[in-house]
Amino acid sequence: MFEFLQQVDCKPAPFEFYTAETLWNDEHISQQMLKFHLNPDLEPASRNQGFIEASIDWMKERFGIGPNCHIADFGCGPGLYTLPFAQLGAVVTGIDFSRRSIVYAREQAFNKGLEVDYRQQNYLDFESDQRFDLISLIYCDFCPLSPAQRKRLLGVFHRHLNDDGAVLLDVFSLQAFESRQESTTFQHRLMDGFWSEQDYFGFLKTMKYEEEKVCLDKYSIVEEARQWLVYNWLQYFSLTSLIREFSESGFEIAEYYSDVTGNAYHEDSAVIALVVKKARKAG
Ligand SMILES: C[S@@+](CC[C@H](N)C(=O)[O-])C[C@H]1O[C@@H](n2cnc3c(N)ncnc32)[C@H](O)[C@@H]1O
C-alpha cells in the first residue's frame, strides 16, 4: 500500500512515459472517447460542432479545399474534419491509431458514398508515396508529444508535404500553462466510470514543470484485480519556441491565429494556430 501510494505521488521526468494508446485504444476508454467526439456540445475529444463548422468554412477558403486538393489529417479521430473535406471533393487521407474511431469513420464514409483513405496506425510511423497540399493536426495534438516525438512527426510532415503545401495545427499557449494549477484528487469511480467498467478508485495528480512549460495529468486507477497508470502530458508553447522548433525541422511559420477558424491572434489566447510552410532554401 505504502509503495503504491509512493508511485501515485511520484513526479516522473517530463515525457518519461507514453501511454496515449491506452487512452485512445483501451476497449472501455475508447468507447467513452468516441461518445465525447460525437457529442456536438462536449469538448474533451473534439471541439463543439459550431466551432468545427466554422473551422471547415475557414479552411475551405484559406486552403482552397476542393477537387484536386490532397489532404492528410493526422489524428483524424472519427472523421469530423475528413468527411466534410471529402464532401468538398478533396482527396483525403485520415490517420489515427484509435481502432474504434477509424471503424466509425470508415462506416460514415461508406454510408455517405464518399472515399477517404483511412489508415489505422501511429502517425509517427506514417509513410506514403503521396504528397499533400494540406496536412492538418487539429485539437492541440502536437502537445502530448515529447520533443523527440515532435521532431519525428515534423520529419514525417516535411517528407509528405508538397513544396508549396501547408501544415495547419494548433497548440496550447503559455497563457494556458499559467492557468493550470497543481492538485491531487482521489475519488471512487473518478470521472464517473470513465476509466473502467469495473468498480475502481482513481487518483488524479496534476503536476507542473515550470522550466519546460509542461503539465502532467497522472491518473492512477485501482481496480480489485489490477492497478494501472495513464500519463497525459501537455507541452505549452510561446510563438518564439514554435518558431525555433519548426525552423529546426525545415519549416517556417507563415501565419498564426488564435484558433483554427482563422480568428486573429491575441496575446491572451489559450491556443495558437499555425499555418506552416517548408522553409525556402537560401540562394
Ligand atoms: C484530441 S483528438 C482530436 C481528433 C480530431 N483531430 C478532432 O479534432 O476531432 C486526438 C486524436 O489523435 C489520435 N492520436 C493521438 N496520438 C496519435 C498517434 N501517435 N498516432 C495516431 N493517432 C494518434 C487519437 O486517437 C485521437 O483520435
The enclosing domain of 47 has a CATH number of 3.40.50.150
pTM: 0.96
Residues 244, 221 share a domain: no
Residue 282, pLDDT score: 65
Residue 264, pLDDT score: 97
Residues 269, 252 share a domain: yes
Specify if 140 maps to a domain: yes
Q: Which residue has a Cα nearest atom 22 of ligand 1?
A: 96
Residues 115, 201 share a domain: no
Q: Which residue has a Cα nearest atom 12 of ligand 1?
A: 75
Residues 168, 37 share a domain: yes
Write the pLDDT tens digit of every residue in 80-138: 999 999 999 999 999 999 999 999 999 999 999 999 999 999 999 999 999 999 999 99
Specify if 113 maps to a domain: yes
Q: Does the beta carbon of 101 sit less than 6 angstroms from any atom of ligand 1?
A: yes
Specify if 105 maps to a domain: yes
Specify if 17 maps to a domain: no
User: Using CA of residue 111, residue 113, residue 116, residue 119, what is the dihedral sign?
Assistant: positive
Contact 224, 250 (CB under 8 A): no
Which residue range is the domain that position 196 belongs to?
2-10+176-235
Residue 280, pLDDT score: 84
Specify if 19 maps to a domain: no
Residues 149, 125 share a domain: yes
Residues 155, 167 share a domain: yes
Q: Ligand 1: which of 43, 98, 122 to mutate, judged by most atoms within 8 Å of the beta carbon?
A: 98
Task: Report the half-sphere exposure of 62 (CA within 13 A, side-chain side).
Answer: 22
Residues 35, 97 share a domain: yes
Residues 137, 47 share a domain: yes
Residues 93, 201 share a domain: no
In total, how many domains does the chain have?
A: 2
Residue 283, pLDDT score: 59
Within the chain, which residues score under 50 in pLDDT?
none
Q: Does the beta carbon of 45 sit less than 6 angstroms from any atom of ligand 1?
A: yes
Residues 196, 161 share a domain: no
Q: In b/e form, how buried is each residue of 203-220, taking b as 16+ CB within 10 angstroms?
A: bbbebbbeeebbbbebbb
Residues 257, 197 share a domain: no
Specify if 15 maps to a domain: no
Task: Please list, in sequence order, all residues whose beta carbon lies within 8 angstroms of the beta carbon of residue 7, skipping any fewer than 6 positions away.
Answer: 220, 229
Q: Does the beta carbon of 124 sit less than 6 angstroms from any atom of ligand 1?
A: yes
Query: How many angstroms separate the alpha carbon of residue 76 from the centre of ligand 1?
Result: 6
Q: Ligand 1: which of 96, 156, 259 to mutate, judged by most atoms within 8 Å of the beta carbon?
A: 96
Specify if 25 maps to a domain: no
Specify if 228 maps to a domain: yes
CB atoms within 10 A of CB 50: 11
Residues 256, 229 share a domain: no
